[in-house]
């Protein structure tokens, strides 16, 4: 195989976490006396990390003040810590896919914009921690995806050249981060992507599941974006 390692996005790729996020947003908005958001709105707000999710929940005609945003973020943290993993579902094909990748001997990691205090607790609760050699969260590096630094950081920890790492995600943020890092990017169509369909022209392969991603990786030759 061309690849020596593989990194996975978390929310929208490995795990369907939207019900937990929506519940934490509901409780946060109720606590601070802000208008509620629908499940569909929260779904479209996910993608650039916790702070952006909270800010989008509060933004109507104008963005919130810094003080209001800080209050809301602290409220969200408290509520999400309680509900994190409570309603989360593992996407179909994920466990079979992870087992196939693990059997191949490749190094495996998670690269997510979710804060570390929630990432590791969620993976542990879902019984998935043992699959991964490296976990890079939204506060591990100075930048979040779509910046390339989180993926480059994972590659350094793997001691693998970026072009030998495959990144798999569900959004344009994943694709942009991977390509900026020099990694091929596969995308799954079932995730969040800030409420928009994934554009198959932007990624190196659009795959229906992690198991299909593994099968495609076996014959991967070139990067579409080069």
pLDDT tens column, 128-185: 999 999 999 999 999 999 999 999 999 999 999 999 999 999 999 999 999 999 999 9
Identical fold, 5-16+89-217 and 18-83: no
**In a 3-state reduction of DSSP, which class is residue 154?**
helix
pLDDT at 139: 95
Domain boundaries, the chain: 5-16+89-217, 18-83
Give pLDDT < 50 ranges for the chain: 225-226
**pLDDT for residue 216:** 93
| Closest C-alpha among 213, 211, 191 to residue 47 | 191
Residue 226 confidence (pLDDT):
42
Three-class DSSP category at 15: strand
Please report the pLDDT score of residue 161 as a whole number.
97
Q: What pLDDT score was predicted for residue 225?
A: 46
The H or E element spanning position 165 is strand 165-169
Nearest Cα neighbor of 224 from 189, 169, 186, 190 is 186
Structure tokens that stand for 208 in this block: 């229906």
- The token pair at 166 is 């495959």
Which residues are part of the catalytic machinery? Answer: 9
Cβ neighbours for 201, distance < 8 A, ≥ 6 positions apart? none
Top CATH class of 18-83 equals mainly alpha
Q: What is the CATH number of domain 5-16+89-217?
A: 3.40.50.1000
């Amino acid at each position: 195989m061309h690849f020596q390692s593989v990194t996975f996005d978390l929310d929208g790729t490995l795990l369907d976490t939207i019900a937990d996020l929506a519940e934490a947003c509901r409780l946060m908005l109720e606590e601070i006396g802000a208008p509620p958001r629908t499940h569909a709105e929260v779904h479209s707000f996910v993608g650039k990390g916790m702070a952006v999710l909270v800010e989008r929940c509060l933004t109507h005609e104008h963005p919130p003040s810094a003080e209001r945003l800080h209050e809301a973020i602290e409220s969200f943290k408290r509520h999400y810590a309680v509900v994190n993993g409570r309603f989360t579902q593992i996407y179909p094909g994920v466990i079979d896919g992870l087992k196939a990748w693990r059997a191949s001997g490749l190094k495996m990691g998670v690269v997510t914009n979710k804060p570390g205090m929630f990432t590791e607790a969620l993976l542990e609760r879902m019984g998935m921690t043992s699959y991964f050699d490296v976990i890079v969260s939204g506060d591990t590096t100075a930048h979040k995806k779509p910046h390339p630094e989180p993926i480059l950081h994972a590659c350094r920890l793997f001691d693998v050249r970026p072009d030998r790492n495959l990144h798999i995600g569900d959004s344009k943020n994943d694709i942009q981060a991977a390509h900026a890092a020099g990694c091929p990017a596969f995308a799954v169509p079932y995730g969040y992507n800030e409420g928009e369909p994934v554009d198959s022209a932007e990624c190196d392969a659009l795959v229906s599941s992690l198991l299909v991603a593994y099968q495609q990786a076996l014959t991967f030759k070139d990067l579409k974006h080069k």
